[in-house]
Chain A
């Protein structure tokens, strides 16, 4: 259904562009433009007492609803003019307007327009949108073993519905905006009034408002356009397809943005730590959740550093290799005709090729390719003496570690920053890695997300935010909302009561 809507729009605009007239002066103009569109229905109804023009876009409109609930009132004998129609139709939010832009956007959203005569600008807009999209399904990209499974779909209303039922309070606020010179895409800025920081909300709205674009297809595009540093390879906002995560973020005082037609919500602002947090961490007991977080952190470090350390050590610092590793490393290396750098690059690029191929292919073919690439090509290249089997292990592990990152865009970043590291390892060995790391860290300290420092719990140091960063302390310790967000109400709950609630104290010994 959505696709159809898009088609209509595209047709519509093409025509407009050939006319060199983006402006439409009157309703008649609008209809004339739409005449050539096959699914545009525009006809005159001639009743006994009342004559009117009915126009709608067939593919966007729930025709059955029109026939059942709207037309009978138009055709009945008791109606004589539009006012009466408006009064009689048993639908809420029937608007009567002369505003051309409203009429246009409503018509293209699937509303039905009723006029007394074709030329008259005075219109009645009756909601008759046919909501048909994907059913709510399990989330595919951010899967979890525990916790809710629902994922967002492409309809903004449905998405808001998914969030709203998790936040049943009147403070739940959202503001509609229309973005895109041509597309006028609907964008909802969602927050909880009284928790979210007012400046943050203002900044988000301002940035969205100031966008100079023609169309907005997906929320990730929006994230790129409103981010603080457009050139940074680090994502500055979290995109998620899980309504539970969005609800959790809103309760913390963050802001969510939903773009109509996109199954991802944006969460703003975000600090770097949050990209390595999987939402099910909160569903596990804290020592285990902490262990998983540290594991993820280690995986990221391993993924970024491992292949460059291999290059550095094999090219410059043979002294660092532990005694018992030298023989196996030596024998697997001697047959390789290339320098460590080219060896690593060959294998890294091979893995990237595989990943890209598998991501673009249908699932079933993808699996096959994965197996072929991973096992057959890998083993064959070791046997052919192009890469050493030691390196194969390292690269495979580091590729695996990159995918541990819960956020897809962060995972892409991590895979990408390996290459500068590898090059600097070739140039200056471990010193080069260290300098390259320093440059990236400096980039991170300079980076902001919605004006808030990106690596916040670390610098500037906020002890209360560190409770939910590398380690996750028990929930009753987290009585403060993230200071990172400067929330309007920073206290979550009373710390003392939270600790008292643990229950009557007893120990086995005393009983």
Chain B
């Protein structure tokens, strides 16, 4: 019996010899994808693979073949919208291409205006792609951003973009990645958004937020409104709000805590009343000379609060006009309303009455008085 069992166990390798391998060094790991819309359902797709700089083979002390420099770095070509780029470029790949460590997906503005629904449904179906990849809209061409070689930094471009977006979303920018995008895209009464990046000389920069209405780009909000947006969107603690209280005079508050609570009155009425109660605690490091001292903080607090709330209301008003709801106000109303009337929400949303009440607390003003 034992011998029989042993023989059977020895047969295992034969049973499963047929699973194809993905050996790490025989894989082209696609780290970034870019989509440039060129009209008529056609897309200029770009994929980037990292090339890890190495000093040649270790054994031959640098005289042998360069180990990794031989890896191709990017491929681009025209295909239809919604096509898997990896499948498209496989014939040009020097090794098998895999998307398992994808980091970033970029869309140019035209593509975003055209709509991302095909791309998103494809990504949502793919078990191999991580959901934490960064997504962004690009001013200009994604191909240019992904294939440019004149960056100051040497790290692979996809990582560069991902780090930049991740770093920023700890500050003024709201958390964005594929999952959040998909969540708002598929969810009812809410719309997704992405950061906008652009190439400026030899570096990249993140410049505002692109707002969508479902899968289509609608509008953008600028860098200066990011604090307002994030304040209304989620709890955070690293943002900076620059308040200009008269020309040439600025006070910047760096918040140690900001939280938002919503209240909704009359969720099923024609113009529901949405009240956002925002609480900002922060300290001041940057201020124009002689504008602030320990005595005048409470006056300053009031002024900043006022500026925040009027600007926030203005911003939401803009959203309502363009019919996009990135702050998930619709969902908030739903969560406050029993038997929420979802069918008429799209018509009621522009009429919604949004109020923002901000409380600012300056906890300290630095070490000089």
Contact = CB atoms under 8 A, between A and B. Distances in A.
B24 A321 contact: yes
A340 B22 CA distance: 11
A423 B13 contact: yes
Contacts of B58: 335, 382-383, 385
Contacts of B338: none
Given A231-B2, A315-B22, A427-B13, A334 B101 contact: no
A251 to B, nearest CB: 39
A316 B54 CA distance: 24
Given A383-B59, A427-B13, A318 B27 contact: yes
Interface of B: 2, 12-13, 16-17, 19, 21-25, 27, 29, 50, 52, 54, 57-59, 64, 67-68, 98, 100-101, 103, 128, 130, 159
A423 B24 CA distance: 18
A336 B22 CA distance: 16
Interface string A311-355: 001111111010100110111011110011000000000000000
Contact of B101 (A321, A333, A427, A432): A321
Q: How extensive is the interface on chain A, given as a class?
A: 20 to 34
Nearest to B70: A334
Contact of B159 (A313, A316, A323, A427): A323
A85 B309 CA distance: 119
Given A326-B101, A333-B24, A384 B59 contact: yes
- For the complex of A and B, the 8 pairs showing the least CB-CB separation, nearest first, are A319-B100, A385-B59, A333-B25, A327-B52, A334-B67, A331-B54, A335-B57, A314-B24
A436 B32 CA distance: 36
Contacts of B27: 318
A323 B103 contact: yes
A388 to B, nearest CB: 9
A323 B134 CA distance: 14
B166 to A, nearest CB: 11
Contacts of B16: 427-428, 432
Contacts of A321: 24, 101
Interface in A462-478: none
Contacts of A339: 21, 23
A475 B187 CA distance: 58
A318 B100 contact: yes
Contacts of B25: 314, 330, 333-334, 336
13 contacts: A231-B2, A318-B98, A319-B100, A323-B103, A323-B159, A330-B24, A333-B24, A334-B67, A335-B64, A340-B23, A384-B59, A385-B58, A427-B17
Contacts of A330: 24-25, 52, 68
The CB with the most chain A CB atoms within 10 A, among B29, B98, B103, is that of B29
Contacts of A327: 50, 52
Contacts of B159: 323
Interface string A406-446: 00000000000000000110011100100000000000000
Contact of A427 (B12, B59, B67, B130): B12
Nearest to A332: B58
Contacts of A334: 25, 54, 67-68
Nearest to B52: A327
A173 to B, nearest CB: 38
B19 A318 contact: no
Given A323-B103, A330-B68, A384-B59, A316 B52 contact: no
Contacts of A423: 13
Contacts of A323: 101, 103, 159
Given A335-B59, A339-B21, A385-B57, 16 more contacts: A231-B2, A314-B25, A318-B22, A319-B98, A319-B100, A323-B103, A326-B52, A327-B52, A331-B67, A334-B54, A335-B64, A340-B24, A424-B12, A427-B12, A427-B17, A432-B16
Given A335-B58, A385-B58, A319 B128 contact: yes
A428 B19 contact: yes
